[in-house]
Structure 1
Amino acid sequence: MTEKYSVKRTPKIVVIGGGSGQPVVLNGLKKYENDLTAIITVADDGGSSGTLRDYLQMVPPGDIRNVMATLSQLPASLIDIFQYRFKPEDEMLAHHSLGNLIIAAMAEKEHDIFDGVQVLAKIMQVKGHVYPVANEPLVLHAAFTDGTYLAGEAEITAAHKVIDHIWVTPQAAPATHDIQSPKKVVNAILEADVVVLGPGSLFTSILPNLMVPNVAEALRATRAKIVYIANIMTQKGETDNFTDADHVKAINEHVGERVVDAVIMNTGKVPEDYIDWQRWNEISLQVDSDPESVKEQGATPVIGDLLALRDDGAFHDGDAVAQLIMQIAADE
């Protein structure tokens, strides 16, 4: 791997992921002086995003919307409108977020989702950069340890089966053409001081980004410090009994090289009687912390109490995580 280097200036930080975990970290990082880039998965096929994806043959907008809302410097009242979700009784608009519809309109207007998002980011006064990992919707595929296969993020998540490995293909026919991330995505990784992976669902939010060939290549080539934020809870069926080191091993194996340099690990304990298991039915148990095995994966453990208990669930404290990321960026 290319030798790393220390940061002597405003750090360039790239956060790769999707789902609900990515905005939590971005919300913490936006409070610091940095050059921030969010790279977002486009393999989601559920909910409003999935409907728009199928109907308009576009990149699913939901994760992009949440990141833009997080990084926007517009008044909170305008962000609330952007995030507004229509009621179930609203027939053709039921369950759609207004922001999803706006992103769909910008993609159509600019004839390109990537360009449409860049124009909208300026309108919304976004701090940093918001980049979909690909300019086309991707189909997620999973091979399970029982020898079966499934396609589609929603179906893979709902299967609650142990995943051996995942890969992505383009949604559009022919599905044989090479998937490539836009040049700005690759350059952001190559020019970064720190690349952050996660937190989020390992196989459905983080790894789909890394399965785009030129993204994996950029991660192998970059001089950035690559940091994985270990999940607090395992995901039912997907990462049951995974330690934080097991997550790192899966990332390295999918990328094809030991790329993770540091792992941000939580020491806070989730009370046994706190989680509402019906509400948060996709999670299983708290991830076991194994610093020695993380070191065996070639990564440095970065440890702290990062636990935020709210809404009967266990989450990362975005401010605490951001502080550790900034410390990693500043390390000589």
Structure 2
Amino acid sequence: MVREHHPRVVAIGGGTGLSAVLRGLKHFPVEITAIVTVADDGGSSGKLQREFRMPPPGDIRNVLVSLSEAESVISDLLQFRFATEEEHYLDGHSLGNLLIYAMYSLTHGDFVQAIENMGTVLNIKGRVYPVSPVATVLKAELLDGRIVTGESQLATQGSPIRRVFYDAPVTAVPAAVQAIRDADVIVFGPGSLYTSVLPNILLPEIAAAIEGNIHADKVYVCNIMTEAGETDGYSAADHLQALAEHGLSPVCKIIVNDEAIPEHVLARYRAENATVVRNDFERLEALGVQVIRSRIASFTDGIVRHDPIKTAASVYAIALDRL
């Protein structure tokens, strides 16, 4: 029997990593749903959260831009940040964040509807949902036993992260839960492990929907480089281990970078206490995960990023197997 729809791909995360995957996926025949963390408490997002008690819009802004059919036209506009010679209350705010706040006000504080409306305005391909309709406060227990509050503080404490958690109940957006239940492929990452990916799966309804969808391929797009203060020294298997320890049901596939990274780029990252994520294939095999090796790295101005099209192509190849 011929399927009447394209493969349904749900991408879960936040930050620039999730945006890169989505920027590529919109060029493939898939139904896209993005589920985005609302734990950011730094920068413009943090200011809007504290001043107007709205969920932080920054990660969602990046996702909306990446999925817009008019991305090349509006990206610079929405990413524009105000900066004045004299101190001004607009300094540091991006125009996109302020537009989301305006839509939030017009919808009388309905953040989910505000994002839906922004998606319509920007003519995005797919749907975008915050994982929760309200801001969340992320906490971490460090290896030295300290408890740290606030997403922006987690990687600056000089001690490895043992676990992240919420100390109050957090409710998931029902549409996001349903999208996971209906998905053919569920993608986690790439992006900051403890502050972009894991905050989403800490919500009980999200975790239950992931575990309950026994038909979907669950795929982790592994980071290419470690992050100082967050995943120092982590291998690919270490990333999966952290996901498992936070309650994620077994990932069946992992996409790892197989592209050589130039020495001058590595030197720049070493100066920032970051290194290549090791592909420890024996441990990955022992975990029972299928490893997909792909040349998905791109280099711009000495910075390593996931190439949007190459990464999305790896995800699409998995989605095709679901037809």
Normalised TM-score (structure 2) = 0.93
Mapped pair 1:141 → 2:133:
no
Does the 8 Å contact 1:266/1:306 carry over to 2?
yes
Q: Deviations over 1:229-274 (max 9, x none)?
A: 011001112211211011011111212532x110001111222322
Q: Is the alpha carbon distance of 1:7 and 1:229 closer, same or farther for their aligned partners in structure 2, counting shifts above 3 Å?
A: farther
Mapped pair 1:247 → 2:239:
yes
Return the alpha-carbon distance in structure 2 between the equivalents of residues 103 and 209 of structure 1: 21
1:327 counterpart (302, 317, 322): 317
Return the alpha-carbon distance in structure 2 between the equivalents of residues 318 and 75 of structure 1: 14
Match for residue 172 of structure 1? none
Q: Deviations over 1:203-237 (max 9, x none)?
A: 01100011111111111111211100011001112
Mapped pair 1:76 → 2:72:
yes
Return the alpha-carbon distance in structure 2 between the equivalents of residues 224 and 316 of structure 1: 23
Match for residue 128 of structure 1? 126
Which SS does the other structure have where 1:164 is aligned? strand
Which SS does the other structure have where 2:170 is aligned? coil
1:272 counterpart (258, 263, 266): 263
Residue identity in the other structure for 2:150 = G
Return the alpha-carbon distance in structure 1 between the equivalents of residues 297 and 269 of structure 2: 20
Q: Which 4+ residue blocks in structure 1 deviate beyond 6 angstroms?
A: none
Tell me how far 1:277 sits from its aligned partner: 3.5
Mapped pair 1:109 → 2:109:
no
Q: Is the alpha carbon distance of 1:37 and 1:280 closer, same or farther for their aligned partners in structure 2, counting shifts above 3 Å?
A: farther
Unaligned stretches of 5+ residues in structure 1: 1-5, 170-175
Does the 8 Å contact 2:266/2:275 carry over to 1?
no
Mapped pair 1:95 → 2:77:
no
Q: Is the alpha carbon distance of 1:288 and 1:275 closer, same or farther for their aligned partners in structure 2, counting shifts above 3 Å?
A: closer
Match for residue 43 of structure 2? 47
Match for residue 305 of structure 2? 315
Residue identity in the other structure for 2:33 = T
Does the 8 Å contact 1:275/1:314 carry over to 2?
no
Residue identity in the other structure for 1:202 = L
Which SS does the other structure have where 1:237 is aligned? coil
Matched positions, count = 318
Match for residue 3 of structure 1? none
Residue identity in the other structure for 1:318 = P
Q: Is the alpha carbon distance of 1:75 and 1:256 closer, same or farther for their aligned partners in structure 2, counting shifts above 3 Å?
A: closer
Residue identity in the other structure for 1:247 = H
Which SS does the other structure have where 2:264 is aligned? coil
Return the alpha-carbon distance in structure 2 between the equivalents of residues 219 and 148 of structure 1: 30
Which SS does the other structure have where 1:94 is aligned? coil
Residue identity in the other structure for 2:153 = E
Which SS does the other structure have where 1:231 is aligned? coil
Does the 8 Å contact 1:140/1:167 carry over to 2?
yes
Match for residue 32 of structure 2? 36
Return the alpha-carbon distance in structure 1 between the equivalents of residues 276 and 112 of structure 2: 37
Tell me how far 1:279 sits from its aligned partner: 11
Q: Is the alpha carbon distance of 1:271 and 1:249 closer, same or farther for their aligned partners in structure 2, counting shifts above 3 Å?
A: same
2:205 counterpart (202, 214, 217): 214
Match for residue 151 of structure 2? 153
Residue identity in the other structure for 1:112 = D
Does the 8 Å contact 2:269/2:275 carry over to 1?
no
Which SS does the other structure have where 2:275 is aligned? strand
Normalised TM-score (structure 1) = 0.91
Tell me how far 1:166 sits from its aligned partner: 0.5
Match for residue 7 of structure 2? 11
Does the 8 Å contact 2:210/2:249 carry over to 1?
no
Q: Is the alpha carbon distance of 1:121 and 1:279 closer, same or farther for their aligned partners in structure 2, counting shifts above 3 Å?
A: farther
Does the 8 Å contact 1:14/1:192 carry over to 2?
yes
Residue identity in the other structure for 2:126 = G
Identity of aligned residues (%): 38
Q: Deviations over 1:103-157 (max 9, x none)?
A: 0111122121111111111111111001111000001110111111101011112
Match for residue 116 of structure 2? 118
Match for residue 23 of structure 1? 19
Does the 8 Å contact 2:38/2:55 carry over to 1?
yes
